[in-house]
């Protein structure tokens, strides 16, 4: 299923005298041809009762269309570039949807699912919650060379200049601002002190940082008037830094809750009225810093757990059951819609810790209507408890972490009318250069299925129109089940892999597997690499990006002529005149599932597709790392090909990550639980040569089980691979898959 191949006029396969640089020029010709082509969109716009809306203005990439009497529209000759489509019409809220338009040229038109608009209602408020935000640290000093008690000097490589922070701070929000301003009440977790005088850094805390005050107007311009402060960084610069933070927020017109000079101040909710709905916003953290002399939380030390200590300010202490419960109960008794914003849990986990979830349910039982959680820096699932909707973790929003697992986050969009949640969606985002942007296409759908898989408490969630739709148990939705037959050939190794990523739609999940054959052992697996299809899914000013991969230099690049599926793959070129290999590395450590919970799953395989044109030798090396720290644990050759001319072929290699070591029993993060990939291509013997990789995945497998009757899976989920172990031969599988749709 090649989308494009080198073969346009003047762009044929290299002869022996050709240079490797010719491949890049040929691919540029393909790209030019692609960019000169367009795609058409057709769709319809309806209200929540399914009635057509006439006269709605539909816009994308500068092209506009008004809906007709049947609510239909058509956008013609759109560039093949990812974008945000908007629908505007009087008496309805603006509608936004990501469009993945960087699609194969064989698709010349798209028929979109109907867009459902919600009526503008004087009594309906739209809230939008984003995760962890700061304008600190690497935004100002990319290499973090400045001492924590100094303001960094201006750095041309930094997004934000210390001498004039506002332009860079605005730029940090460029790709998400339109999403923020369409809400009635957008909120961020402001996880940073604000100061111009960083002279009092916490003496024993590992990570401290600050935001400069002139970054704050960028948030006001994005529609944000309130921030939550109940987190473990608001006290990074002790009492002086906390007071500066509160003063600067007030000077710039912000309201806040979750921190103060005393526990009473820290627990004081911010109360306001939005579209006729009285609300109370409560913010607190369970990350108290109890092992430090200077806590992160406000405490008066009377009957507390921190004796001896000095009374101090800080964040509201989520460990204080009495104050948490009393604050929520009082706000609920006053007739307010209560929103509890909780900062808790274990970092980098897909599920909330037991204690963090206990805090969420405690807030719900005390009377919170909506619980918004953060701190683990990765997005988690959704749930309901005692009628309260729980977002278990939003992950990062605008944050300077380089970890592979922190670059996908979530925004929580919640509509409230008459004190009741009437709609809830999760909006997925991707952080590139630490800056958020919307995502589209298969990437968004797979991420949402992952979140749905880790949801609980009666929540029903699924991908639709590139957002996570979140329903309470009993709310109506449709589950469509379809079946396909798939034949797999098991070779002499006795192992085969079924790649579901293009067998079933990306919004669908495998529900059942059955076969008339006996003796099949089967396992399901998930891709933990995430960025191995080399497609561009995010919505920004750039096209043909390769997320995360090192493609600096001219010998490795995103290529249209090297796509096995989709629009682009990764091409590597080297000719006979080169003296060494070219290497493309995945820069981040890929940590196995269960690492953060100290239950590492090291059952791994490398999978993908490769082809070559007069290629030199090809190798993929896997290097093993500790979860944290600098220690490495050797390398493993995962793939080798002698080169030459060969068409697309699958690659499959089982990986042997070293076992955990006894000496690290008390420091499990020092164990080998992460890996990196290095793709290497050698020079050719003569002329120019190219190799293309696509659809790479690092698969974490669940345990094998005998397929005695059928394997049934709870949907949705993000397990997109099947491993079949059996005697050599051909086997036919019946695959049922579920697609969820709103009513």
Query: How far is Cα 698 from Cα 317, in angstroms, rounded to an integer?
Result: 40
pLDDT tier at 2, thresholds 50, 70, 90:
very low
pLDDT at 15 > cutoff 60: no
* Per-residue model confidence as pLDDT tens digits over 526-563: 999 999 999 999 999 999 998 899 887 789 999 998 89
pLDDT at 730 > cutoff 60: yes
Which class is 124-471 in CATH? alpha beta
pLDDT tier at 461, thresholds 50, 70, 90:
very high
Omega within 30 of 0 (cis) for the link into 140:
no
Q: Do 95 and 26 form a contact (C-beta atoms < 8 A)?
A: no
> What six digits make up the tokens of 480?
């469509």
Give the pLDDT of residue 309: 67
pLDDT tier at 740, thresholds 50, 70, 90:
very high
pLDDT at 701 > cutoff 80: yes
> Whose CA is closest to 551, among 536, 539, 564?
536
> What six digits make up the tokens of 37?
């082509």
Q: Do 101 and 39 form a contact (C-beta atoms < 8 A)?
A: yes
pLDDT at 23 > cutoff 90: no
What is the enclosing helix (H) or strand (E) of 34? helix 21-35
DSSP type of residue 116: E
Q: What is the DSSP string of 183-235?
A: SSEEEEEE-S-B-S------SS-S----B-GGGHHHHHHTT--EEE--STTTT
Residues of the chain with CATH 3.60.21.10: 124-471
* Per-residue model confidence as pLDDT tens digits over 198-226: 999 999 999 999 999 999 999 999 999 99
pLDDT at 702 > cutoff 50: yes
Query: How far is Cα 307 from Cα 301, in angstroms, rounded to an integer?
Result: 6
Give the pLDDT of residue 302: 53
Tokens 């107007």 sit on residue: 217
pLDDT at 13 > cutoff 80: no
- What b/e string do you get for 678-700 counting C-beta neighbours within 10 Å, with b at 16 or more? bbbbbbbeebbbbbbbbbbbbbb
SS (H, E, C) 242-284: HHHHHHHHHHCCCEEECEECCHHHHHCCEEEEECCEEEEEEEE
Tokens 């031969």 sit on residue: 729
Terminal CA-to-CA distance of the chain, rounded, Å? 34
Tokens 């402001």 sit on residue: 190
Cβ contacts of residue 231 below 8 Å, gap of 6+?
A: 132, 189, 190, 191, 258, 283, 285, 287, 315, 343, 374, 375
- Average per-residue pLDDT in the chain? 94
* Side-chain-side CA neighbours of residue 71 (13 Å): 16
Q: Above pLDDT 70, what percent of the chain? A: 96
> What six digits make up the tokens of 435?
């800056």
> What six digits make up the tokens of 36?
């000169």
What separation in angstroms does the CA of 131 have from each of 285, 346, 412, 492? 14, 15, 9, 49
* CATH of span 38-116: 2.60.40.4130
CATH 2.60.120.260 fits 21-34+528-659+667-701, yes or no: yes
Specify the range with the lowest mean pLDDT, choosing from 144-153, 299-308, 349-358, 380-389: 299-308
Question: Positive or negative CA dihedral for 24, 25, 26, 27?
Answer: positive
Give the pLDDT of residue 18: 47
* Per-residue model confidence as pLDDT tens digits over 556-610: 999 998 899 999 999 999 988 888 999 999 999 999 999 999 999 999 999 999 9
Residues of the chain with CATH 2.60.40.4130: 38-116
Higher pLDDT, residue 475 or 180: 180
Helix (H, G, I), strand (E, B) or coil at 670: helix
Give the pLDDT of residue 664: 95
* Per-residue model confidence as pLDDT tens digits over 216-258: 999 999 999 999 999 999 999 999 999 999 999 999 999 999 9
Give the pLDDT of residue 172: 98
Higher pLDDT, residue 309 or 618: 618
For residues 668-689, give the mean pLDDT: 95
Query: How far is Cα 624 from Cα 636, in angstroms, rounded to an integer?
Result: 8
Query: How far is Cα 607 from Cα 619, in angstroms, rounded to an integer?
Result: 13
pLDDT at 456 > cutoff 90: no
Query: How far is Cα 561 from Cα 570, in angstroms, rounded to an integer?
Result: 9
> What six digits make up the tokens of 221?
């311009």
Give the pLDDT of residue 534: 96
Q: Above pLDDT 90, what percent of the chain? A: 90
Query: How far is Cα 417 from Cα 275, in angstroms, rounded to an integer?
Result: 9
Give the pLDDT of residue 121: 84
* Per-residue model confidence as pLDDT tens digits over 320-340: 999 999 999 999 999 999 999
Query: How far is Cα 33 from Cα 269, in angstroms, rounded to an integer?
Result: 57
Query: How far is Cα 623 from Cα 676, in angstroms, rounded to an integer?
Result: 5
* Per-residue model confidence as pLDDT tens digits over 61-111: 999 999 999 999 999 999 999 999 999 999 999 999 999 999 999 999 999
What is the enclosing helix (H) or strand (E) of 398? strand 396-398
Compute and round to an integer the Cα radius of gyration of the chain.
27
Cβ contacts of residue 122 below 8 Å, gap of 6+?
A: 275, 276
Give the pLDDT of residue 687: 87
Residues of the chain with CATH 2.60.120.260: 21-34+528-659+667-701
What is the enclosing helix (H) or strand (E) of 167? helix 165-172
Query: How far is Cα 256 from Cα 283, in angstroms, rounded to an integer?
Result: 9
Query: How far is Cα 397 from Cα 342, in angstroms, rounded to an integer?
Result: 16
Give the pLDDT of residue 17: 38
What is the enclosing helix (H) or strand (E) of 489? strand 477-490
Q: How many Cβ atoms from other residues are within 10 Å of residue 120's Cβ?
A: 13
For residues 403-411, give the mean pLDDT: 97
Tokens 């990062």 sit on residue: 396
DSSP type of residue 336: P
> What six digits make up the tokens of 582?
């070219």
Helix locations, 272-340, DSSP H: 321-333
pLDDT at 10 > cutoff 80: no
Helix (H, G, I), strand (E, B) or coil at 313: coil
pLDDT at 305 > cutoff 60: no
pLDDT at 348 > cutoff 60: yes
Cβ contacts of residue 20 below 8 Å, gap of 6+?
A: 555, 573, 574, 575, 578, 684, 688, 689, 690
Residues in the chain: 743
């Amino acid at each position: 299923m090649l989308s494009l191949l080198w073969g346009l006029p003047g762009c044929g396969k290299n002869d022996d005298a050709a240079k490797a640089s010719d491949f890049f020029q040929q691919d540029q010709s393909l790209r030019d041809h692609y960019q000169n082509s367009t795609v058409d969109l057709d769709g319809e716009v309806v209200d929540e009762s399914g009635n057509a809306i006439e006269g709605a203005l539909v816009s994308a990439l500068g092209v506009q269309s008004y809906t007709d009497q049947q609510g239909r529209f058509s956008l013609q000759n759109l560039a093949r570039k990812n974008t945000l489509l908007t629908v505007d019409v009087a008496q309805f809220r603006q509608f936004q949807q990501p469009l993945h338009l960087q699609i194969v040229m064989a698709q010349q038109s798209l028929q979109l699912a109907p867009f459902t608009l919600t009526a503008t209602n004087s009594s309906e408020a739209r809230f939008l919650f984003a995760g962890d935000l700061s304008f600190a640290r690497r935004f100002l000093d990319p290499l973090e060379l400045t001492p924590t008690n100094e303001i960094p000097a201006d750095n041309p490589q930094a997004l934000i200049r210390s001498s004039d922070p506002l332009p860079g701070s605005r730029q940090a929000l460029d790709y998400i601002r339109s999403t923020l301003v369409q809400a009635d009440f957008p909120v961020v977790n402001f996880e940073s002190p604000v100061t111009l005088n960083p002279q009092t850094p916490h003496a024993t805390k590992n990570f401290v940082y600050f935001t400069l005050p002139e970054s704050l107007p960028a948030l006001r311009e994005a529609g944000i008037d309130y921030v939550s402060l109940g987190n473990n960084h608001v006290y990074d610069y002790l009492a002086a830094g906390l007071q500066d933070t509160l003063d600067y927020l007030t000077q710039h017109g912000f309201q806040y809750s979750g921190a103060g000079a005393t526990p009473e101040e820290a627990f004081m909710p911010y109360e306001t009225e939005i579209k006729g709905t009285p609300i109370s916003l409560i913010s607190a953290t369970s990350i108290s810093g109890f092992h430090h002399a200077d806590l992160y939380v406000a405490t008066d030390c009377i009957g507390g757990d921190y004796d001896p200590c000095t009374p101090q300010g800080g964040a509201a202490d989520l460990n204080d059951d009495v104050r948490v419960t009393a604050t929520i109960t009082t706000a609920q008794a006053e007739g307010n819609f209560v929103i509890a914003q909780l900062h808790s849990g274990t970092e980098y986990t897909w599920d909330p810790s037991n204690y963090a979830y206990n805090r969420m349910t405690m807030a719900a039982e005390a009377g919170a209507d909506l619980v918004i959680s953060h701190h683990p820096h990765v997005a988690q699932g959704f749930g309901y408890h005692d009628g309260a909707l729980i977002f278990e973790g939003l992950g990062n929003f605008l944050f300077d972490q380089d970890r592979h697992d922190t670059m996908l986050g979530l925004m929580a969009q919640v509509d409230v009318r008459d004190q009741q949640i009437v709609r809830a969606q999760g909006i997925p985002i991707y952080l590139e250069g630490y800056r958020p942007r919307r995502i589209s296409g298969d990437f968004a759908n797979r991420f949402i299925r992952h979140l749905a898989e880790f949801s609980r408490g009666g929540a029903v969630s699924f991908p639709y129109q590139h957002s996570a739709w979140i329903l309470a148990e009993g709310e109506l939705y449709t589950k469509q089940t379809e079946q396909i037959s798939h034949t797999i050939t098991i070779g002499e190794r006795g192992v085969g892999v079924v790649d579901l990523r293009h067998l079933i739609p990306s919004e669908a999940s495998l529900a059942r597997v059955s076969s008339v054959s006996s003796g099949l052992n089967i396992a399901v697996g998930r891709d933990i690499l995430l960025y191995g299809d080399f497609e561009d899914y995010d919505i920004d000013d750039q096209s043909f990006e390769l997320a995360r991969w090192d493609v600096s230099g001219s010998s490795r690049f995103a290529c249209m002529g090297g796509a096995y599926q989709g629009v682009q793959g990764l091409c590597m070129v080297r000719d006979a005149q080169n003296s060494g290999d070219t290497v493309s590395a995945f820069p981040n450590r890929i940590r196995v599932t269960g690492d953060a919970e100290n239950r590492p799953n090291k059952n791994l395989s490398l999978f993908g597709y490769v082809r070559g044109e007069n290629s030199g030798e090809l190798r993929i090396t896997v290097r093993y790392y500790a979860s944290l720290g600098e220690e490495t644990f050797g390398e493993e050759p995962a793939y080798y090909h002698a080169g030459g001319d060969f068409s697309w072929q699958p690659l499959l290699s089982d990986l042997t990550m070293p076992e955990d070591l006894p000496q690290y029993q008390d420091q499990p993060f020092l164990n080998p639980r992460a890996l990196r990939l290095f793709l290497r291509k050698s020079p050719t013997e003569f002329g120019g040569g190219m190799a293309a990789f696509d659809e790479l995945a690092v698969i974490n497998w669940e345990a094998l089980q005998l397929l005695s009757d059928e394997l049934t899976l709870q949907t949705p989920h993000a397990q997109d691979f099947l491993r079949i172990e059996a005697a050599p031969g051909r086997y036919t599988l019946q695959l049922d898959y579920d697609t969820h749709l709103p009513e």
